[in-house]
Chain A
Amino acid sequence: DAKTTQPPSMDCAEGRAANLPCNHSTISGNEYVYWYRQIHSQGPQYIIHGLKNNETNEMASLIITEDRKSSTLILPHATLRDTAVYYCIVRVGGGAQKLVFGQGTRLTINP
């Protein structure tokens, strides 16, 4: 699975959009970009995933660049409950589906 690079920490004001970047310059054509988050010491929570098209669900939007070497997770209206560590994971589809977690980005939403 391709390696990802994320900033160790970010701050965002409550109510504003939080944009979390992820670099995955060695991504292969069959690898997907996944985002999970972990609030405090709870179990990680799936947010969204995509291959090359932008994706949106009730939690967030995922913007993947055309060359697929980077992506941005967007939380459109961040709340205090969005304070968490966000993990960007790249992996192939199918087969053994272990998740390889990096250090992630610690996002702090400030009131």
Chain B
Amino acid sequence: DSGVTQTPKHLITATGQRVTLRCSPRSGDLSVYWYQQSLDQGLQFLIQYYNGEERAKGNILERFSAQQFPDLHSELNLSSLELGDSALYFCASSVGTLGLNEQYFGPGTRLTVT
């Protein structure tokens, strides 16, 4: 158990819909990262937040957005869903942004778009 929690575990929805994935980082961790893992693209970094502010952006679509709240939990919002958005979405957390902090990953949310 990494200490990072993600909800829901599974999500099935239809094309065109909007969903919200939630992540609670480990106690004391200020940085949250979102990754997407699909069969054809592998594990890809989407976005990072540190103490409520966006710090780095990766291959995140404009239809996707994220935020980190004052209690440090984070939400990833996916809208106008397409079949290709079906994937595992992982959240990870680390202590901060400076220095070498290993990332601890949650169990993931499996999104299926039908």
Question: B-contacting residues of A (Cβ < 8 Å)?
Answer: 32, 34, 38, 41-46, 49, 87, 93-103
Contacts and interface: CB of A to CB of B under 8 A. Distances in A.
B56 A96 contact: yes
A43 B33 CA distance: 12
Contacts, number: 66
A109 to B, nearest CB: 22
A106 to B, nearest CB: 12
Interface in B57-114: 58, 88, 90, 92, 94, 97-108, 110
Nearest to A48: B102
Closest A-B pairs by Cβ, 4 of them: A43-B105, A96-B56, A101-B43, A98-B45
B42 interface: yes
A93 B100 contact: yes
Contacts of B31: 97
